[in-house]
Structure 1
Amino acid sequence: METYSFASWNVNGLRAVLKKEPSFEEIARELDADILALQETKLQDGQVSLELPGYTQVWSYAERKGYSGTAVFARTEALGEPLSVRHADSLLPFAGEGDAAQLVAEAATEGRVCALEFERFWFVDVYTPNAKEGLARIECRMAWDDAYRAFLKGLEDETGKPVITCGDFNVAHEEIDLKNPKSNRGNAGFSDEERGKFSELVAAGFTDTFRLLHPDETGAYSWWSYRFNARKNNAGWRIDYFLVSDSIAGQVREADIRSDIFGSDHCPVTLTIEL
């Protein structure tokens, strides 16, 4: 077995992060991950050029400018080139028919998935659609969650390889995962519907790696509103995750939240695993 380190970060606009100190490249070097996954890059092709020597870069762009988007940087020496790459349109065969299929197809234009196949595993970076204020986009969110769960299981079934998926899932699963569960009950990110779909994902055979190793840890959050001094007061939510196929959950060695790293309203989350 080899030990691999992974990191995931919703950067909430990569161009904005690139203008800050420490630089994005410095943060990437500090994380020193074999794979670094980003969400909400808010880029179009060619808008930035990153100097990350030794990493293969895979990008997924939204058709809408300045919106959504994902990227994965994989250390070539550790992993080799990806055997195959898939994007959000690969969810469409799992989206059913009718309204659900149409909603998933709409979300699939938003650059929300980078799925890379390696020799020993699949690595899937996701930026899950936000249900929006008043749950205005909840139907899309429910359809997406169903299709995404089926897509991950499809990768397992098709190739026989375990799946590691990470990203901004836009849901705090349990009350322990946000500072103010009672006042947020029913709001986007903590609705019964979204929490239920996350429970279905776990039940389908995926392990929340942070809770596996830190089952009772409170105050562990990955996102804070820019309002009300939320980060200073640690009034946050844990909505960024690493999930792994249950078959490899016993090989997880570390799962952490890097709240010491700034530059976005989210902080990176990390995983160390033997494969």
Structure 2
Amino acid sequence: MNRMKIVTYNVNGLRPRISQFGSLRKLLDSFDADIICFQETKLSRQEFRADLVQAEGYESFFSCTRTTEKGRTGYSGVATFCRVNSVFSSNEVSLPVSAEEGFTGVLKDFSVSGYKKVEYSPLIEGLEDFSADELLKIDGEGRCIITDHEHFVLFNIYGPRAVADDTERIQFKHNFFNILQKRWESLLHQGRRIFVVGDLNISPFAIDCCDAGPDFEKNKFKSWFRSLLVDNGGAFFDVFREKHPQRREAYTCWPTNSGAEEFNFGTRIDHILGAGPCLHKEETQGHSLVACHVKECDILDQFKRWKPGSTPRHKEQKTRNGKMEGSDHAPVYVSLVDIPNAQQHSTPSLSTRYCPQVYGCQQTLVSMFARRQSAEDSNLSGGSNFISDDGNVVEKCSQLNKRTLHSCSSASSDFIHQGILCTSDYSNNDSFNEPSSGAQTFSASGHTKSSVICKKKARKSQSSQLSLKSFFKKTVVNIMK
């Protein structure tokens, strides 16, 4: 049985948080957690670099904004980091057996280059009234990553914000949570256990908001949130309130321009919810995922920008733009106990380890056994930037590392024959409930497929495909002149 710690944190921009801590690895290590869920990363896929999305000892899964509507480029975004010892053939619960971007299922059936529709079939019941374009709009803002950890499914959510007079965004937010609830209900009906973490942009109770007015209880999103909870007939526990039912001024977010943190003038909108049965073989009354497996849940106040004892606001040190350093949110964590190991599995295809613009190309088994010609032959075949592989000449992967995702499509069979594997997990073609192997090839349906830069050159009439037998043939060198 294992202990686990899950942290959720609206970072208000992943770049500035990495800069604040010195590196992504230091930021992640500061939580000492097994799973770390970030919201509002504000990264686009085109901005991916290894130092922003990859850290030693962690696997990462990102969802980014795909729309430029109303200037939302680099807007929103979520990321889930999983601390693991092994990325292949692992039984660690922290390493998901599968992962999915979005929650409507529409991203599996669409390629997004100008939102070109290819084919769509509803993932769950109840979505027939929504058009494919509406569902694509819901998942197009990069607000959800789902990771399946075998014993539970984890939703990393960044809920949309909507002001009172913006009817369009209010409708968007309504659709967002309505469809999300349908996905949760579908999983619970299958007997799955669920944790939902993230910035939902909703304070469910008056105790969770410093300025709750007389109309607070009438807000339809707050009413929707409360309807999810066990005391209101729903299936979910508000894990923080289960552990701290009467704690006041337990806020996780503060306005950025008023010094609100110094006076703790905030709201609790960052949540951890849990639903489903416990993992015990014999479940009795009062048993549940939260009651049996949650040990602690609390707010990590040490990550607040202002803490008791800090320099008064008018004397505090600020960043160059005049703002306090750090996010306007505080992280929330939950500690789990008695979680069994998972079955042996490998990293899902959505991991950034397979993102081509992070690591370029990866060698396959073919290239490990392929016979290499001498340096002289390589130079004759095209200079130092090429390697010769049994009659085929391919460009070195080192020349591809600076490509954008637009210039790398899924690995074609011809490309694999050359001993090079270029992978992209942007569309995440995994079946949600099925483990996937990290050694697969994946299509980049998130962008228009384009031909890969790597080129080959066939000699005479030789076939480009090598047989397994040819790898083990002895090379005969004629030394007679």
| Structure 1 length-normalised TM | 0.89
Pick closer, same or farther for the CA change 1:57–1:144 going to 2, 3 Å: same
Report SS of the residue matched to 2:30: helix
Q: What root-mean-square deviation, in Å, do the aligned CA atoms of Structure 1 and Structure 2 show? A: 2.3
CA gap of 1:240–1:175, structure 2 versus 1, over 3 A, is same
Tell me which of 321, 328, 340 is aligned to 1:265: 328
Q: Deviations over 1:3-55 (max 9, x none)?
A: 11000001111112222256554342121110000011110124342452211
- 1:260 partner amino acid: Q
Max radius of gyration: which structure? 2
CA distance 1:139–1:240, change in 2 (3 Å): same
Contact 1:91 1:148 in 2 (8 A): no
Q: Percent identity?
A: 29
Cα 1:76–1:55 shift into 2, 3 Å: same
**1:74-105 CA distance string (max 9 Å, x none):** 12234264211112153554563446875443
Paired residues of 1:104 and 1:140 also in contact (CA < 8 A): no
Aligned to 1:249: 290
Instruction: Tell me the CA shift for residue 123 of structure 1.
Output: 1.1
- 1:196 is the counterpart of 2:223: yes
2:245 aligned residue: 215
For residues 225 and 100 of structure 1, what CA distance do their matches in structure 2 show?
Answer: 36
Report the 3-state secondary structure (helix = DSSP H, G, I; strand = E; otherwise coil) of the residue aligned with 1:42.
Answer: coil
1:152 partnered with 2:184:
yes
Identify if the C-alpha distance between structure 1 residues 33 and 239 changes in structure 2 by more than 3 Å, giving closer, same or farther: same
Aligned pairs for 1:65-214 within 5 A: 65-77=73-85, 78-79=92-93, 81-90=95-104, 93=122, 94=124, 96-98=127-129, 103-136=134-167, 137-158=169-190, 160-182=191-213, 185=215, 192-202=219-229, 203-214=233-244
Q: Relative CO higher for 1 or 2, CA cutoff 8 Å, sep ≥ 6?
A: 1
Provide closer, same or farther for how the CA distance between residues 126 and 271 of structure 1 changes in structure 2, counting only shifts above 3 A: same
Aligned residue type for 2:96: P
In the alignment, structure 1 segments of 5+ residues that lack a partner are: none
CA separation in 1, counterparts of 2:265 and 2:3?
34
* Structure 1 pair 6–80 and aligned structure 2 pair: CA distance change class (3 A): closer
User: Compared with structure 1, are the counterparts of its residues 135 and 216 closer, same or farther at alpha carbon in structure 2 (3 Å cutoff)?
Assistant: farther
Q: Distance in 2 between matches of 1:163 and 1:118?
A: 10
Aligned residue for 2:271, secondary structure, equals strand
Distance 1:259 1:134 in 2: 33
Task: Give 1:28's aligned residue.
Answer: 28
Deviation at 1:121, TM superposition (A): 1.1
> Could you tell me how far 1:124 is from its partner in structure 2?
1.1
2:3 matches 1:3: yes
What is the Cα deviation at residue 264 of structure 1? Answer: 0.5
| Distance in 1 between residues matched to 2:80 and 2:96, nearest whole Å | 11
1:90 and 1:84, CA in 2 relative to 1: closer, same or farther beyond 3 A? farther
Is residue 58–residue 82 contact of structure 2 (8 Å, CA) maintained in 1?
A: yes
1:166-224 alpha-carbon deviations (Å, 9 max, x no partner): 000100000000111127x46xxx86111011122224311110000000000101100
2-structure distance, mates of 1:201, 1:101: 26
2:165 match: secondary structure: helix
User: Where does structure 2 lack aligned partners over 5 or more consecutive residues?
Assistant: 68-72, 86-91, 107-121, 278-288, 306-325, 340-481
Give 1 or 2: higher helix fraction.
1
Report how many aligned residue pairs link the two structures: 270
TM-score (norm 2): 0.53
Q: Does the C-alpha gap of structure 1 residues 99 and 121 become closer, same or farther in structure 2, counting only changes over 3 Å?
A: closer
CA pair 191-36 structure 1, distance change in 2 beyond 3 A: farther
Per-residue Cα deviation, 1:120-146 (whole angstroms, up to 9, x for no partner): 111110111112353532111112111
Decide whether aligned partners of structure 1 residues 256 and 265 sit closer, same or farther in structure 2, where only a CA change above 3 A counts.
same
